[in-house]
Structure 1
Amino acid sequence: MVVPAGGSLGTWEWKRIVTNMFPLLIVLSIIVLWAGITLENAEEMIEEISILAVMVPTMVDMGGNLGAILSSRLSSRFHLGTTELDPRDRVLWANVAAILALAVTIFTALAIGAAALDAVLYGGAVGFGQLLFISLVSGMSVAVIAIVFSFAATYGSYRLGIDPDDTTIPIVTNVVDVFGMVIFIGVSAAVLDIPL
Structure 2
Amino acid sequence: MSEMRSFFFRNKTVFSLGFVSILISSLVGLVSGVTLGYMTDLLAIVPALMLLITPAIGVRGSIFGAVGSRLGTAVHMGTFELSFKKGSVLRQNVETSIILTIVMAVVMGAFAKLAAIVMGIESISLHEFIFISVMGGTLSSLVLIVINVIVAVTGFKHDWDLDNISAPIITAAGDIVTMPMLFATTLLVINPHMHDWLIVIFSIIFVIVAVLLILYVLLKKKDEVRRIFVQSIPTLLIFIIIEIVAGSLINNELESFIALPALLIMVSPFLGSSNSLGGILTSRFSSYLHMGLLRPKAIPGKLAFENFAITYVFGIFAFVLIGVATFTVSGFLGMESPPLATMIALSLIAGMISTTILCVLAYYLSILTFRLSLDPDDHSIPLITSMIDVFGVVAFVATILLLGLA
Taking the TM superposition and a 5 Å limit, the aligned residue runs for 1:29-178 are 29-85=240-296, 87=299, 89-122=301-334, 125-178=337-390
Q: RCO greater where, 1 or 2, for CA within 8 Å and sep 6 or more?
A: 1
Per the alignment, residue 13 of structure 2 pairs with: none
Q: Deviations over 1:51-94 (max 9, x none)?
A: 10110000111101101100000010011111115557332222
C-alpha distance in 2, partners of 1:183/1:48?
20
CA contact (8 A) 1:115 1:124 kept: no
Q: How far apart are 1:122 and its partner, in Å?
A: 4.3
Secondary structure of residue in 1 paired with 2:403: helix
CA contact (8 A) 1:134 1:188 kept: yes
Matched, 1:18 2:229: yes
Say if 1:12 and 1:166 are closer, same or farther in 2 by CA, change over 3 A.
Answer: farther
Length-normalised TM-score, structure 2: 0.43
Per the alignment, residue 7 of structure 1 pairs with: none
* AA matched with 2:230: T
Length-normalised TM-score, structure 1: 0.86
Say if 1:125 and 1:78 are closer, same or farther in 2 by CA, change over 3 A.
Answer: closer
Secondary structure of residue in 1 paired with 2:338: coil
Which one has a larger percent helix, Structure 1 or Structure 2? 2
Q: How far apart are 1:125 and its partner, in Å?
A: 4.2
Q: How far apart are 1:158 and its partner, in Å?
A: 0.5
Say if 1:125 and 1:73 are closer, same or farther in 2 by CA, change over 3 A.
Answer: closer
* AA matched with 1:137: I
Uncovered stretches (5+) of structure 2, i.e. residues with no partner: 1-76, 78-221
Say if 1:12 and 1:108 are closer, same or farther in 2 by CA, change over 3 A.
Answer: farther
Per the alignment, residue 6 of structure 1 pairs with: none
Which moves more between the two structures, 86-95 or 43-52? 86-95
Q: How far apart are 1:14 and its partner, in Å?
A: 3.1
Matched, 1:181 2:393: yes
CA contact (8 A) 2:262 2:335 kept: no
C-alpha distance in 2, partners of 1:46/1:118?
13
Secondary structure of residue in 2 paired with 1:55: helix
Q: How far apart are 1:115 and its partner, in Å?
A: 2.3
Q: How far apart are 1:17 and its partner, in Å?
A: 2.6
Uncovered stretches (5+) of structure 1, i.e. residues with no partner: 1-9
C-alpha distance in 1, partners of 2:223/2:345?
45
CA contact (8 A) 2:304 2:363 kept: no
Say if 1:144 and 1:12 are closer, same or farther in 2 by CA, change over 3 A.
Answer: farther
Secondary structure of residue in 2 paired with 1:82: coil
Q: How far apart are 1:38 and its partner, in Å?
A: 0.9
Secondary structure of residue in 2 paired with 1:162: coil
Q: How many residues get paired?
A: 185
C-alpha distance in 2, partners of 1:44/1:123?
15
Q: Deviations over 1:117-154 (max 9, x none)?
A: 34444487411221111101111111111111111110
Q: How far apart are 1:12 and its partner, in Å?
A: 7.0
Say if 1:186 and 1:12 are closer, same or farther in 2 by CA, change over 3 A.
Answer: farther
Rg (Cα) greater in structure: 2
Secondary structure of residue in 2 paired with 1:136: helix
Per the alignment, residue 36 of structure 2 pairs with: none
Pairwise CA RMSD of aligned residues?
Answer: 2.1
Say if 1:66 and 1:105 are closer, same or farther in 2 by CA, change over 3 A.
Answer: same
Say if 1:30 and 1:124 are closer, same or farther in 2 by CA, change over 3 A.
Answer: closer
Secondary structure of residue in 1 paired with 2:294: coil
Per the alignment, residue 192 of structure 1 pairs with: 404
Say if 1:169 and 1:161 are closer, same or farther in 2 by CA, change over 3 A.
Answer: same
